[in-house]
Amino acid sequence: MNCFSFISLKWSLESEMSNTRARIISRECAKTRDICKDLVALGALVFVLHGNNVVSGLPDRLIVHRDWSGLLEFKDNNTELRANQRINIKNMVLRDPDFAYIVRFPNLIQLPCDQIVNSDGYYTVATFDGTARGLLDTLIKLKNYGDS
């Protein structure tokens, strides 16, 4: 492979990756983007996990903050988890109860549940005020409650 072929291949891969990111962002809920932007403003690192050819069914975001770190799957009020998301989140919670949650807009923090807790098969762990600060504070309280 000569230098020009390599540059052409690199440009093609970068272009395809950029197109994939654009498709993901366009499908993503504006509320998810806004709350993640606000989490960054609060000092969190936010890593996008979906659409990167990683393990299918991982939650949307890895959040790393000095007071709480874990995985969050953001969903609108009427959006269901895919089967592999449900399985993966349940398995993560079995390993560490405070590591993975479903954030259901506008203000619920949930876990999937096999037993019928409510009609939709989710257990609401907590509510928050709909802001990034409220979400982070609630996640920290849940972690501290579990640690005590």
Under DSSP, the state recorded for 65 is: -
Cα separation, 129 vs 82, in Å, equals: 26
Q: pTM to 2 decimals?
A: 0.76
The set of residues, in sequence order, having a beta carbon less than 8 Å from that of 147 and lying 6+ positions away, is none
Give the pLDDT confidence score for residue 113 in this predicted structure.
76
Integer angstrom CA distances of residue 100 from 22, 26, 83, 84, 89: 26, 24, 16, 14, 6
Integer angstrom CA distances of residue 13 from 17, 25, 26, 48, 52: 6, 18, 20, 19, 13
Give the pLDDT confidence score for residue 95 in this predicted structure.
87
Mean pLDDT of 7-29: 48
Cα separation, 104 vs 89, in Å, equals: 14
Give the pLDDT confidence score for residue 106 in this predicted structure.
93
Cα separation, 125 vs 103, in Å, equals: 10
Give the pLDDT confidence score for residue 100 in this predicted structure.
93
pLDDT digits (tens, 9 = 90+) for 82-136: 888 888 898 888 888 889 999 999 999 998 876 545 556 788 899 999 999 999 9
Give the pLDDT confidence score for residue 19 in this predicted structure.
46
